Structure 1
């Protein structure tokens, strides 16, 4: 019999479980330190707002690319559950999940009458672009920004114009590197 459990109830010895989760963060695919494999991290959140890291490796990244979308709700079962390493800092949960070919992932569509999708997460703190300069007291601070790219310049002069979810103001990004973007807020 399959047990419907929340993230906190699932550990490596748990068998025959299913969990309703929402994807609240999708990392970009990265190479391992030893360059032997590519992996991608996801942050999943359940109905109790408990979060866990899930990881996919090379084949699964491509397999699930069209299926796993930010803020969509899924029923996940048979993921491998492992103890989170603490050598890289404090993990968000004592365990993490590996999503592989054996994992069953079923999306819950908004039109589903039996199983409703989870509401948007409440742990997100959304700040409009006009508040960012007030948050930048420490120049080394990092801020995650949800935006839409409107236009990207040619490779020789990398400039991107992006807009926040509130539709104003624009931000012009003048330096684009593989790991970060630097820009200034303009009042266009």
Structure 2
């Protein structure tokens, strides 16, 4: 018998619990520095708006990751609960759920298509210039994808890397280029290409601002691209784009 609890009541090393969550973010699979460890991170939130980081390691990734889709609601039972080491903590994320093959994941059919109760601090396109080439700084932006440039293949550190630039438009009609590489291009990039005709809205989180013939955006290891997220600002921007196309 498990207790159905909100995120904030689930503490490190607790056993026999369940929680109803929605997947806010699903990051790319990354390698741990100096270790043969692969990991994939997620951010979950609940009906109270509380958030928690979740993580899957190594051989559990191909088995458990496909069960968790962004914006979908699930009942999670008995993930391992650990404190995040202090040097990796953020202001809102201090606890981590380790998802393994022992974790029970049940999808909850939610016909309401609810608005995600989360807020982001977006950087305006006109302010991006202040963050160019700051290696210790990343930004969140929101924009409409209005075009894609040709895909290119580059050689980086003796390996081939695929890259494609997408043109983002904000509600003040400013544009900026966002480069998606490799896994980002194979996943979110293909989703954008398939839906260019409908002008998808994206929220690009933890993005680097580069100086490439002016301001340009690019992903790095913990970036996330949210495509047409059920967030109020995204829906308002999509409606604005639809109006100016009339």
TM-score bin (small chain): 0.7 to 0.9
Contact 1:29/1:38, CA 8 A, preserved across alignment: yes
Trace 1:25-64 onto structure 2 (pairs within 5 A).
25-64=25-64
Structure 1 residue 108 corresponds to structure 2 residue 96: no
- For residues 22-45 of structure 1, the C-alpha deviation after alignment (integer angstroms, 9 at most, x for no partner) is 122222211112322100111111
Task: State the distance in 2 between where 1:164 and 1:65 align.
Answer: 32
Could you tell me which residue of structure 2 aligns to residue 120 of structure 1? 116
Could you tell me which residue of structure 2 aligns to residue 79 of structure 1? 79
Structure 1 residue 137 corresponds to structure 2 residue 121: no
Which ranges of structure 2 fall in alignment gaps of 5 or more residues? 155-161, 184-206, 217-246
Contact 2:75/2:107, CA 8 A, preserved across alignment: yes
Pick which of 62-71 and 150-159 moved more: 150-159
Over 3 Å counting, the alpha-carbon distance change for 1:173 and 1:98 in structure 2 is closer
SS in structure 1 of the partner of residue 40 of structure 2: strand
Deviation at 1:55, TM superposition (A): 0.6
Q: Which has the higher helix share?
A: 2
Number of residue pairs the alignment of both structures matches: 177
Pick which of 174-183 and 56-65 moved more: 174-183
SS in structure 2 of the partner of residue 65 of structure 1: helix
Q: Quote the RMSD (CA, aligned, Å).
A: 3.4
Over 3 Å counting, the alpha-carbon distance change for 1:135 and 1:108 in structure 2 is same
SS in structure 2 of the partner of residue 66 of structure 1: helix
Could you tell me which residue of structure 1 aligns to residue 177 of structure 2? 172
Contact 2:41/2:56, CA 8 A, preserved across alignment: yes
SS in structure 2 of the partner of residue 144 of structure 1: strand
Contact 2:54/2:98, CA 8 A, preserved across alignment: yes
Task: State the distance in 2 between where 1:60 and 1:164 align.
Answer: 38
Task: State the distance in 1 between where 2:180 and 2:27 align.
Answer: 21
Which ranges of structure 1 fall in alignment gaps of 5 or more residues? none
SS in structure 1 of the partner of residue 130 of structure 2: coil
- For residues 84-135 of structure 1, the C-alpha deviation after alignment (integer angstroms, 9 at most, x for no partner) is 2113354634421100001111122233xxxx665313323467xxx31235
Contact 1:52/1:93, CA 8 A, preserved across alignment: yes
SS in structure 1 of the partner of residue 152 of structure 2: coil
Task: State the distance in 2 between where 1:165 and 1:137 align.
Answer: 18
The alignment's TM-score, normalised by the length of structure 1, stands at: 0.73
The alignment's TM-score, normalised by the length of structure 2, stands at: 0.58
Contact 1:16/1:77, CA 8 A, preserved across alignment: yes
SS in structure 2 of the partner of residue 8 of structure 1: helix
Could you tell me which residue of structure 2 aligns to residue 161 of structure 1? 166
